């Protein structure tokens, strides 16, 4: 009976990991700009690979009586390094003037770095363009 439960847990973890990894791949392909693609790549793929590794760990821990510390370290390393790496890539893209998607409304990083909320000609022009795009979408 316990074997069925352990196999079910491991299977659910592996299927869930495959699902989230597939969602991450679709997100990287379908999303419109660098920042949203990084979001899909870091969040979903981290969860997907983490669940897959946890499923493998569960299976081998019970059926082969092997507690593989390398799998646990890989899971920890993945959950620490992936968000940090995505943050650093997004920040460097921002400082390299990579434009966000045209429907992005708020740019808090720019506001925080300039220290003001004064509207420039560029921000006014972008707001007008976004409102026109929204009207066309509706």
Contact 69, 55 (CB under 8 A): no
Q: Are 4 and 62 in contact (CB under 8 A)?
A: no
Phi-psi map region of 92: left, alpha, beta (phi>0 left; psi -120 to 50 alpha): alpha
92 within 8 A of 84, measured Cβ to Cβ: no
pTM for the whole structure = 0.71
- Give me the half-sphere count of Cα atoms (radius 13 Å) on the Cβ side of residue 120: 7
> In sequence order, what DSSP letters do the residues of 112-132 get, joined into one string?
HHHT--PPPHHHHHHHHHHHH
| Share of residues in the chain with pLDDT > 70 (%) | 83
Q: What is the pLDDT of residue 104?
A: 73
pLDDT of residue 88: 93
Rounded alpha-carbon distances, angstroms, from residue 71 to 14, 16, 78, 81: 14, 17, 10, 15
Q: Write the pLDDT tens digit of every residue in 26-55.
A: 999 999 989 899 988 899 999 999 999 999
Residue 130: per-residue pLDDT: 77
- Total residue count of the chain as it appears in this document: 138
**Mind listing the pLDDT tens digit for each residue in 71-83?**
999 999 999 999 9
Per-residue model confidence (pLDDT) at position 16? 96
**Largest interatomic CA distance in the chain:** 69
Between CA 35 and CA 24 the distance in angstroms is: 14
> If pLDDT is split at 50, 70 and 90, which confidence band does 98 have?
confident
Rounded Cα distance between 92 and 78, Å, is 21
């Amino acid at each position: 009976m316990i074997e069925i439960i352990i196999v079910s847990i491991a299977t659910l973890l592996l299927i869930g990991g495959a699902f989230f990894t597939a969602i991450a791949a679709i997100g990287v392909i379908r999303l419109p700009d660098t920042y949203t693609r990084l979001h899909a790549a870091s969040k979903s793929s981290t969860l997907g690979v983490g669940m897959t590794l946890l499923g493998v760990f569960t299976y081998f821990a019970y059926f082969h009586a092997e507690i593989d510390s390398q799998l646990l370290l890989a899971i920890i390393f993945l959950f620490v390094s992936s968000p940090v790496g995505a943050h650093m890539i997004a920040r460097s893209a921002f400082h390299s003037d990579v434009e966000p998607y045209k429907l992005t409304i708020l740019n808090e990083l720019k506001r925080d770095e300039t220290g003001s909320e004064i509207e420039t000609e560029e921000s006014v022009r972008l707001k007008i363009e976004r409102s026109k795009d929204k009207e066309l979408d509706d």
